[in-house]
Amino acid sequence: MNLDILTTDTNNKIQTNKEKISNLYKAFDQYRIPKYRDWAHEITFGFLVSEYVLNLKIASKDDNVDEILLLARRLLEVFIITKYIVTTNQFQNMLEYCVHDRYEYLEGCIARATADVNLFPELAGLDYFLPDHQKQKKKLLSQHGSGKRMPSIKNMADRIGYSDEYNYFYKFTSKLLHFCPFTLNGDVNFDRELDKVVFLCRVAKYIEQIRYELEKVYQRIPKI
């Protein structure tokens, strides 16, 4: 296929599926009312996933390849998590997962005050809202505990039949985006226009798959 045609086709797919996700986002939002409380977990999940995808900046072939790879990796994670939750019907567990992430976030906020001063003594005395974060952590523990850790991306990918995608693209991008011994080879270059367009094809595919999973979530909700 001609590269220009592939680029145009890929951009159109991305735009079309983002528009469909935008419509789903609005639909989920309309269901966030008391009479749909029995499906609150599904509605909240669909609403937040669609919101996250819509807020991502979509890269183009004119951007740095690292931006494209990071976007594609994020979307792969969104897709794997979304399909896993939908496939295993674990919408209710998302609350536990969110609690755990909130707990780790607060631990990081609390640790920041010490970590920053260790590296930058001149920052000593700055207001890090430490008492507030400690209070939030204590309240979280008393009401919900420390939550439940979400399965690893690998385990979720295995569960939904996407081991090959994990073994290829997730590991592949890890080696390209993070510093590791492989980085020292110095002979990896994916800055060609062809490479970037092919990676954008993955962006388009992941967005399409996320949209498909969100549609399945939406279809679970009875229209009352």
Is the pLDDT reported for residue 51 higher than 80?
yes
C-alpha distance from residue 19 to each of 48, 116, 149 (Å):
16, 42, 32
Q: How far apart are CA 210 and CA 18, in angstroms?
A: 10
Of 16-20, 60-64, 127-131, the least confident: 127-131
What is the reported pLDDT for 13?
Answer: 96
Residue 100 makes CB contacts below 8 A (sequence gap 6+) with 146, 147, 148, 149, 150
What is the 3 state secondary structure string of 90-131? CCCHHHHHHHHHHHHHHHHHHHHHHHHHHHCHHHCCCCCCHH
pTM: 0.88
For 184-222, write each residue's pLDDT tens digit: 565 566 778 888 998 999 999 999 999 999 999 999 999
Residue type, 222: P
Domain ranges of the chain: 3-98+157-220
Question: What dihedral angle (degrees, nearest 10) is formed by the CA atoms of 129, 134, 140, 145?
Answer: 150
Task: Find how far residue 141's CA is from the centre of its chain.
Answer: 25
User: What one-letter code names the amino acid at 220?
Assistant: R
**DSSP at 168:** I
Q: Nearest-CA neighbor of 56 among 222, 205, 203?
A: 203
Q: Is the pLDDT of residue 138 over 90?
A: yes
Structure tokens at 99: 């609690």
Residue 216 is classified by DSSP as H
